[in-house]
């Protein structure tokens, strides 16, 4: 096994105190996707949207990586091969755990994006509607989050990695949102072994060769120890 591609979702950050989306009382139980996670919602009520991401940014800033994040950083550092981490998460807990390469396919809370010239720059802790772009000066700054109906980042590179993977692991994701939910099928198509980590089988659980049920802070360090030959 020379190449491991890992996809993480909100479940890996749940034990760090960051809510998931589709759990009871999760983010989408409290907020309407149409209002806070679509370009149309941002056009309709930008204050509502920036308030939502300002609050999440402040919460993420207080959060610490857990044993699952730390185990993956250790895998990246110690594995005698290639470890590629793709995350749907917009928090920076993988980076805080010491992960060197993190592909944020859905953007990042710590990023701002210009709706006029597509410049991306580090976001202030508190954004406001109409913040100016530091490059084109247009009052078009928005959170650098990939909203529903928008194309995720780095898709070409991600598919290249999936095509070369010996092992694909999905950690803490419900398998409800594409294109990420389709990665397991893509990796399998190219002959990869596939492994899921979750509290329960995800919506695409049946497509995985194997599943490790339990909290990520338990199952992921155990698996990393196995891979590294502990
Ligand atoms: N350990 C392992 N898995 C967990 C844990 C835990 N401690 N806690 C929750 N989970 C699992 C849940 O069982 C669920 O399958 O994590 C998954 C979280 O699912 P979602 O809330 O749907 O989050 P995610 O799959 O990351 O959402 C995908 O949807 O809302 C959009 O853009 C947003 O990136 C997000 C995308």
User: Alpha-carbon distance 219 to 226, whole Å?
Assistant: 11
- The alpha carbon of 11 and the centre of ligand 1 are apart by a number of angstroms equal to 4
φ, ψ at 113 (rounded to 5°)? -135, 140
Is residue 75 pLDDT above 70, yes or no?
Answer: yes
Q: Which pLDDT value is given to residue 48?
A: 98
> Does the CB atom of residue 174 touch ligand 1 within 6 A?
yes
Residue nearest ligand 1's atom 26 by CA: 9
> Does the CB atom of residue 172 touch ligand 1 within 6 A?
yes
Q: Which pLDDT value is given to residue 137?
A: 97
Chain centroid to CA 45: 25
Q: Which of 18, 24, 174 to mutate to test the pocket of ligand 1 (most atoms within 8 A of CB)?
A: 174
> Does the CB atom of residue 20 touch ligand 1 within 6 A?
yes
Q: Which pLDDT value is given to residue 109?
A: 98
The pTM is what? Answer: 0.98
Can you tell me whether residue 113 is helix, strand or coil? strand
> Does the CB atom of residue 26 touch ligand 1 within 6 A?
yes
Q: Which pLDDT value is given to residue 102?
A: 98
Q: Which of 6, 150, 172 to mutate to test the pocket of ligand 1 (most atoms within 8 A of CB)?
A: 172
């909203």: which residue's tokens? Answer: 147
Starting at the earlier edge strand, list the strands of the sheet with 141-145. Answer: 120-122, 107-114, 141-145
Q: Calculate what percentage of the chain has a pLDDT beyond 90.
A: 99
Chain centroid to CA 181: 12
Can you tell me whether residue 18 is helix, strand or coil? coil
Q: Which pLDDT value is given to residue 230?
A: 62
Per-residue pLDDT tens over the stretch 1-34:
899 999 999 999 999 999 999 999 999 999 999 9
> Does the CB atom of residue 178 touch ligand 1 within 6 A?
no
- Kindly tell me the sign of the dihedral angle through the C-alpha atoms of 206, 202, 16, 106: positive
Per-residue pLDDT tens over the stretch 104-160:
999 999 999 999 999 999 999 999 999 999 999 999 999 999 999 999 999 999 999
User: Alpha-carbon distance 220 to 230, whole Å?
Assistant: 13
> Does the CB atom of residue 22 touch ligand 1 within 6 A?
yes
**Is residue 25 a contact partner of residue 185, using CB atoms and an 8 Å limit?**
no
Can you tell me whether residue 7 is helix, strand or coil? strand
Query: Angle at CA 193, nearest 5°, toward 188 and 197?
Result: 105
User: Alpha-carbon distance 130 to 141, whole Å?
Assistant: 6
Per-residue pLDDT tens over the stretch 172-213:
999 999 999 999 999 999 999 999 999 999 999 999 999 999
Is residue 47 pLDDT above 90, yes or no?
Answer: yes
Can you tell me whether residue 5 is helix, strand or coil? strand
Average pLDDT of the segment spanning 79-95: 98
Phi-psi bin for 40: left (phi > 0), alpha (psi -120 to 50), beta? Answer: alpha
Q: How many residues are listed for the chain in this entry?
A: 230
Is 106 catalytic? The answer is yes
Q: Pick the catalytic residue: 31, 106, 161, 190? A: 106
């Amino acid at each position: 096994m020379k190449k491991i591609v890992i996809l993480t979702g909100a479940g890996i950050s749940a034990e760090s105190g960051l809510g998931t989306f589709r759990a009871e009382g999760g983010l989408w139980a409290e907020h309407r996707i149409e209002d806070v996670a679509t370009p149309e919602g941002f056009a309709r009520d930008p204050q509502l949207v920036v308030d939502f991401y300002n609050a999440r940014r402040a919460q993420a800033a207080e959060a610490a990586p857990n044993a699952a994040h730390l185990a993956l950083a250790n895998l990246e550092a110690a594995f005698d091969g290639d470890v590629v981490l793709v995350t749907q998460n917009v928090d920076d807990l993988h980076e805080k755990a010491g992960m060197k390469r993190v592909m944020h396919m859905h953007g990042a809370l710590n990023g701002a994006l210009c709706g006029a010239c597509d410049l991306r720059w580090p976001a202030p802790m508190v954004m406001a509607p109409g913040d100016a772009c530091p490059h084109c000066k247009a009052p078009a700054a928005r959170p650098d989050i990939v909203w529903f109906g928008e194309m995720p980042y780095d898709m070409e590179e991600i598919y290249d990695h999936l095509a070369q993977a010996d092992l694909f692991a999905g950690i803490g994701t419900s398998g409800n949102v594409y294109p990420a939910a389709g990665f397991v099928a893509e990796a399998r198509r190219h002959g990869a072994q596939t492994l899921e980590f979750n509290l329960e089988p995800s919506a695409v659980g049946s497509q995985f060769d194997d599943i490790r049920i339990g909290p990520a802070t338990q199952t992921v360090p155990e698996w990393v120890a196995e891979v590294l030959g502990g």
